[in-house]
Amino acid sequence: MSQFDDKQYQLETLALRTGHTRSFEGEHAEPIFLTSSFVYANAAEAAAKFSGQEDGNIYSRFTNPTVATFEKRIAALEGADRAVATGSGMAAIMSIVMTFLKAGDHVLCSRSVFGSTVALFEKYVSKFGIDVEFVDLTDVGAWEAAIRPETKLLFVESPSNPLGDVADIRALSDLAHRHAALLAVDNTICTPILQKPLSLGADLVVYSATKFIDGQGRTLGGVVLGNQQLMEELHVYVRTSGPSLSPFNAWVLLKGLETLKLRMREHSANAQKLAEWLQKHPKVKQVYYPGLTDHPSHAMAVQQQQGFSGIVSFEVVGEREQAWTVIDKTQFISITGNLGDAKTTITHPATTTHGKLSPEAKEKVGISEGLIRISVGLEDIDDIICDLARGLDLI
Ligand SMILES: *Cc1c(COP(=O)(O)O)cnc(C)c1O
- Check pocket membership of 157 for ligand 1, CB cut-off 6 A: yes
> Distance of CA 326 to CAs 228, 285, 323, Å?
48, 14, 5
* Ligand 1 pocket mutation, candidates 88, 158, 187, 211, criterion most atoms within 8 A of CB: 211
Q: State which ligand 1 atom lies nearest to the alpha carbon of 338.
A: 1
Structure confidence at residue 199 (pLDDT): 98
CA of 88 to the centre of ligand 1 (A): 8
- Determine how β-strand 371-375 pairs with β-strand 222-226: unpaired
Beta strands in 348-386 (DSSP E): 371-375
211 closest CA partner among 264, 289, 158: 264
The protein residue with its alpha carbon nearest to ligand 1, atom 1, reads 208
CA of 221 to the centre of ligand 1 (A): 9
Q: State which ligand 1 atom lies nearest to the alpha carbon of 220.
A: 7
Structure confidence at residue 253 (pLDDT): 98
CA of 282 to the centre of ligand 1 (A): 33
Instruction: Give the whole-number percent of the chain exceeding pLDDT 90.
Output: 91
Q: State which ligand 1 atom lies nearest to the alpha carbon of 157.
A: 13
- Check pocket membership of 243 for ligand 1, CB cut-off 6 A: no
CA of 162 to the centre of ligand 1 (A): 13
Q: Is 58 exposed, middle or buried (0-12, 13-18, 19+ CB in 10 A)?
A: middle
* Burial profile 151-172: b = 16 or more Cβ within 10 angstroms, e = fewer: bbbbbbbbbbbbbbbbbbbbbb
CA of 307 to the centre of ligand 1 (A): 20
The protein residue with its alpha carbon nearest to ligand 1, atom 4, reads 89
The CA distance from 29 to 27, in Å, is 6
Contacts of 363 (CB under 8 A, 6+ apart): none
- Check pocket membership of 305 for ligand 1, CB cut-off 6 A: no
Is the dihedral angle over the CA atoms 307, 300, 119, 88 positive or is it negative? positive
Provide the H-helix boundaries in 129-223: 140-146, 169-178, 191-194
Decide if 88 contacts 244 (C-beta within 8 A). no
235 closest CA partner among 2, 374, 378, 52: 52
The protein residue with its alpha carbon nearest to ligand 1, atom 8, reads 89
Reading across the β-sheet that carries 151-157, which strands appear in turn?
A: 82-86, 222-226, 204-208, 182-186, 151-157, 106-110, 131-135
- What residues form DSSP beta bridges with 313? 288, 373
The confidence band for 358, taking pLDDT boundaries of 50, 70 and 90, is confident
Long-range pairs, 29-38, Cβ under 8 A, ≥24: 30/66, 30/69, 30/251, 30/254, 31/65, 31/66, 32/66, 32/247, 32/248, 32/251, 33/60, 33/64, 33/65, 33/66, 33/247, 34/247, 34/248, 35/60, 35/64, 35/247, 36/60
Query: What DSSP character marks residue 154?
Result: E
* Ligand 1 pocket mutation, candidates 110, 114, 117, 352, criterion most atoms within 8 A of CB: 114
Give backbone dihedrals phi and psi of 316, rounded to 5 degrees, phi first. -85, 160
Provide the H-helix boundaries in 198-259: 228-241, 247-258
CA of 41 to the centre of ligand 1 (A): 41
The CA distance from 233 to 256, in Å, is 27
Q: What is the mean pLDDT of the chain?
A: 96
Domains (range + CATH), the chain: 6-258 (3.40.640.10), 261-392 (3.90.1150.10)
State the greatest distance between any 2 C-alpha atoms of the chain, in Å, as a whole number: 75
Residue 90 has pLDDT above 80, yes or no: yes
- Check pocket membership of 214 for ligand 1, CB cut-off 6 A: no
Decide if 376 contacts 271 (C-beta within 8 A). yes
- Check pocket membership of 210 for ligand 1, CB cut-off 6 A: yes
CA of 223 to the centre of ligand 1 (A): 11
The confidence band for 38, taking pLDDT boundaries of 50, 70 and 90, is very high
- Check pocket membership of 188 for ligand 1, CB cut-off 6 A: yes
Residue 211 has pLDDT above 60, yes or no: yes
- Check pocket membership of 222 for ligand 1, CB cut-off 6 A: yes
For the chain, how big is the Rg over CA atoms in Å?
22
- Check pocket membership of 90 for ligand 1, CB cut-off 6 A: yes
Instruction: Give the whole-number percent of the chain exceeding pLDDT 70.
Output: 99
Mean pLDDT over 365-386 rounds to: 96
- The helix/strand/coil state of 311 is strand
- 175 vs 356, residue with greater confidence: 175
- Check pocket membership of 88 for ligand 1, CB cut-off 6 A: yes
The confidence band for 2, taking pLDDT boundaries of 50, 70 and 90, is low
The pLDDT tens digits for 117-171 are 999 999 999 999 999 999 999 999 999 999 999 999 999 999 999 999 999 999 9
The pLDDT tens digits for 191-207 are 999 999 999 999 999 99
- The helix/strand/coil state of 77 is helix
Report cis status (omega within 30 of 0) of the bond before 162: yes
Among 61-70, 302-311, 339-348, 361-370, which stretch is predicted with the lowest mean pLDDT? 361-370
Residue 363 has pLDDT above 90, yes or no: no
- Check pocket membership of 186 for ligand 1, CB cut-off 6 A: yes
The CA distance from 75 to 70, in Å, is 8
The CA distance from 137 to 114, in Å, is 13
CA of 174 to the centre of ligand 1 (A): 26
Decide if 347 contacts 333 (C-beta within 8 A). no
